[in-house]
Amino acid sequence: MRHWYIYLLVPLIVYIKGLAPTVVLGDTGDYQTAGWIWGVAHPPGYPLYTILVGIIERLPIPPVWIQTASFSLPAWRANILSALFALGALSALFALVNRLTKRPIVALLASGALAFSRVFWWHAEICENDTLSAMLILLILLMAVRWVQERRRWDPYILAFLIGIGISHHQIVLMFLPAVLVFLLMNRSLRFTPKQWVAFALLFALGLTPFVYLPLVRYKTPEGPIKFVSENEYAQLYSGNQQGSPTVQYKTDSPVRFFFHYVFRTIYGRQRQYTHTADMLRGDVTGTSDVLAFYGRLVRDDFGWLFLLAGLMGLALGYGIRNRSPNGTETGANPTAVSNWVLMIVAYFVYFVLVHFYPSGDILNAPRYNLETAGPGLMLPLEILWAVFIGLGIARIMDWLESLGKSARVIDLAVLVIGISTITLVGVTNFPYGDKSHNTLAHEYILNALDSCPEDSVLVVAGDELYAFWYMHNVHRDSSVGGNGYRRDVRLVGWSGELESLSELEDIGRAMTSALVRVSRDDPSREIDMTFFNSQFLENDELQRYTFARRGIVFALVPPDRVAGLAKTSDKLTAQTGVAAYEAAVPTRYRWGYYERNLRYTQMAPEAIGKRKVKLWPPEEDIKWRTAEMLLFYGTDALLKEGKTYARDYFSRMVLVEPENPRARTYLEMANEGS
């Protein structure tokens, strides 16, 4: 049977040829940066994966099949890791389905169906933890089945260690343990001596040891390691009465409590009490019907109609698989067929229910667009189980045909031809989603944004793009100066991290403002620039006032429909967008591009890609007009509230922007009266 595994090298070759040549938007940059600096990724930290990324980034692996000039070697090497874990997951899936059906052809088709499904293919070519999660889940299921079938002495010990190492990687492994427990109880496979249970516990604990890495490196990110301080010390630091280090993150939690907050990701629940409010969501909330419809589309698009039907058959009738000898002949009923099917059914539905209702804010009661971005990754474990159901469904069809007296060889050949044809068709259809060989958007955008920053300035970054900025800023090799890290003179600050500790926040604008206050306290002489993912953040008055005070430029990533109708929107919104997107005093830098999380990369404005100087819509005259109007709005507001100092500042800048505007000089004279 071993020669069947050779065919799994085909998807590995496809993955390596289609690897992303550099960092991409999303969590990828976080893993690649954490591995390079021997730090930690976002919660739960992914210590095992981070360590492995750091190792492979330093291995002397030469680049192959690179088709673009936008290339970064450490990122490409880290992306290889996902392809290798994808191969491991496909191998484990092949072995599992072969044990369940005793048909290598069926196991090969199930593996091929998963290999070229959209979600799995997508994650196999970028630095993401999901293919390692898939491999560990499948190995746990495989080891449980092998222990029941063969009673190999070391299998339960290996299973205990795999569960521990799986949990240390990602807690979704916990969601599969009820199914494993039910399966082992059904087969009376938990009868061990006390000494064996102690050994299992020790091996399980050994699997958890990667967690030690988190406090060992002090939860270090590019913004610095964690230092735990008292609430009084934290208040002194935040108020500016005490000088803190800009390269250290201060936390008031105890080390033990922070560890559990980090590992169990409760930090996201704290954040989303501000981001998932009724005002922010505006009625656009994901419900159960949305999740079910989304998952139905996902399975259809991932596998195609034929494998969708085969999976449904396996889901409904997978309990009746016949037993077969090693040479392929039927030997009667399979004594573990029902329990094998129950294992997959329980795993499938328990995971679906738990991930659906899990209070992380990623799916239920979250913005609908979040389902399109976070949903596929969270649904990947369901996709690998669907591939198992595909195998069970095909095996049931073959059993039925053989019961009609059809030739086994003819059936095998027909199933192989139809299956490979379906995999080929699905692979061709999904190729645009899987292939990442030309995905250089993040690489080029970040180079452009950093090149547009003045020397020794601060760039406040929002959203998941922060991780890609971290990679380019800390790891990408700068050939102009030598060494790793691009534009190290620019200080990067991620504003969303402020939500972790500021319980008194009222909205997103105050979170951004608090980040700017912290930066200006640490580096009072630096000019501050900002980036945005979502245009709704630009509508916050408090944020705009502070933007003016710092005289920074915001790289506003706005959807195309908002840009096209910008002139027709309300004066206030138009003015706010203008002042947020351009520096008030000297408007020489321009809007960057039009990208929002829920839009595909291909919808990025083409003129925003591949240029090292930012010069986009709108024209300078329009920038000046909208900037001047916003300065007038805030200046008159300050004047009416007797804030003549602020009013003079606004009107003075208005004169600089539009020297020929008579209103600017008139209002400036009014502000100067009596001063």
pLDDT per residue as tens digits for the range 163-205: 999 999 998 899 999 999 999 999 999 999 999 999 999 999 9
Which position has the token pair 């620019």? 490
What six digits make up the tokens of 75? Answer: 């990122």
pTM of the model: 0.78
What is the per-residue pLDDT for 291? 81
- Is there a single domain that holds both residue 571 and residue 669? no
Domain termination residue (choose one: 434, 462, 479): 434
What is the per-residue pLDDT for 665? 83
Domain count, the chain: 3
Asked if the bond preceding 44 is cis, omega within 30° of 0, the reply is yes
Is the model more confident about 282 or about 337?
337
Domain that holds residue 388: 2-211+286-434
- Is there a single domain that holds both residue 427 and residue 563? no
Domain annotation covers residue 253: no
- Is there a single domain that holds both residue 501 and residue 397? no
- Is there a single domain that holds both residue 117 and residue 164? yes
Task: Give 308's pLDDT tier (boundaries 50, 70, 90).
Answer: very high
Domain annotation covers residue 277: no
What is the per-residue pLDDT for 237? 60
Domain annotation covers residue 236: no
What six digits make up the tokens of 530? Answer: 């900002």
Specify the range with the lowest mean pLDDT, choosing from 96-110, 274-288, 350-364, 403-417.
274-288
Domain annotation covers residue 638: yes
Task: Give 627's pLDDT tier (boundaries 50, 70, 90).
Answer: low
Helix 508-522, helix 266-275: angle, nearest 10: 110
Domain annotation covers residue 494: yes
Best-predicted range by mean pLDDT among 225-229, 418-422, 434-438, 584-588?
Answer: 418-422
The answer to whether 160 touches 189, Cβ cutoff 8 Å, is no
Specify the range with the lowest mean pLDDT, choosing from 21-35, 459-473, 586-600.
586-600
What six digits make up the tokens of 325? Answer: 């000898």
- Which one-letter DSSP state was computed for residue 585? S
- Is there a single domain that holds both residue 532 and residue 610? yes
Specify the range with the lowest mean pLDDT, choosing from 109-118, 499-508, 600-609.
600-609
Q: How many CB atoms lie within 10 A of CB 622?
A: 15
- Is there a single domain that holds both residue 372 and residue 343? yes
For the segment 249-307, what is each residue's pLDDT rounded down to a tens digit?
777 778 898 898 888 877 665 555 545 555 445 556 777 788 888 888 889 989 999 99
**Residue 234 pLDDT greater than 60, yes or no:** yes
CA distance 441 to 555: 15
Domain termination residue (choose one: 599, 618, 637): 618
What is the per-residue pLDDT for 333? 63
- Is there a single domain that holds both residue 369 and residue 460? no
Which position has the token pair 């979600």? 119
- Is there a single domain that holds both residue 647 and residue 633? yes
Task: Give 543's pLDDT tier (boundaries 50, 70, 90).
Answer: very low
What six digits make up the tokens of 381? Answer: 């474990």
What is the per-residue pLDDT for 536? 39
CA distance 178 to 575: 56
Domain annotation covers residue 243: no
Q: How many whole angstroms from its chain centre is CA 168?
A: 18
Is the model more confident about 674 or about 541?
674
The alpha carbon dihedral of 249, 255, 257, 261 has a sign of positive
Specify the range with the lowest mean pLDDT, choosing from 27-41, 162-176, 526-540, 598-612.
598-612
Task: Give 540's pLDDT tier (boundaries 50, 70, 90).
Answer: very low
- Is there a single domain that holds both residue 363 and residue 500? no
CA distance 496 to 597: 15
Q: How many whole angstroms from its chain centre is CA 282?
A: 24
The answer to whether 60 touches 109, Cβ cutoff 8 Å, is no
Q: For the residues 50-60, what does the mean pLDDT come to?
A: 95
What is the per-residue pLDDT for 495? 56
Domain termination residue (choose one: 585, 602, 618): 618
CA distance 25 to 154: 42
- Is there a single domain that holds both residue 46 and residue 180? yes
- Is there a single domain that holds both residue 665 and residue 610? no
Best-predicted range by mean pLDDT among 62-71, 214-223, 239-248, 454-463?
Answer: 214-223
> What 3-state class would DSSP assign to 460?
strand
Q: What CATH number corresponds to the domain at position 608?
A: 3.40.50
What is the per-residue pLDDT for 148? 93
Task: Give 244's pLDDT tier (boundaries 50, 70, 90).
Answer: low
Is the model more confident about 515 or about 200?
200
Whole-number mean pLDDT of the chain? 75
What is the per-residue pLDDT for 309? 94
Domain annotation covers residue 272: no
What is the per-residue pLDDT for 276? 53
Domain annotation covers residue 268: no
What is the per-residue pLDDT for 408? 84
* Cα angle, residue 33 at apex, residues 30 and 38 outer, rounded to 5°: 115
What is the per-residue pLDDT for 46? 94
Q: For the residues 206-218, what does the mean pLDDT come to?
A: 95
Going by DSSP bridges, is the β-strand pair 491-494/528-532 parallel, antiparallel, or unpaired? unpaired
Q: For the residues 346-372, what does the mean pLDDT come to?
A: 73
**Residue 564 pLDDT greater than 80, yes or no:** no
What is the per-residue pLDDT for 107? 94
What is the per-residue pLDDT for 122? 93
- Is there a single domain that holds both residue 538 and residue 669? no
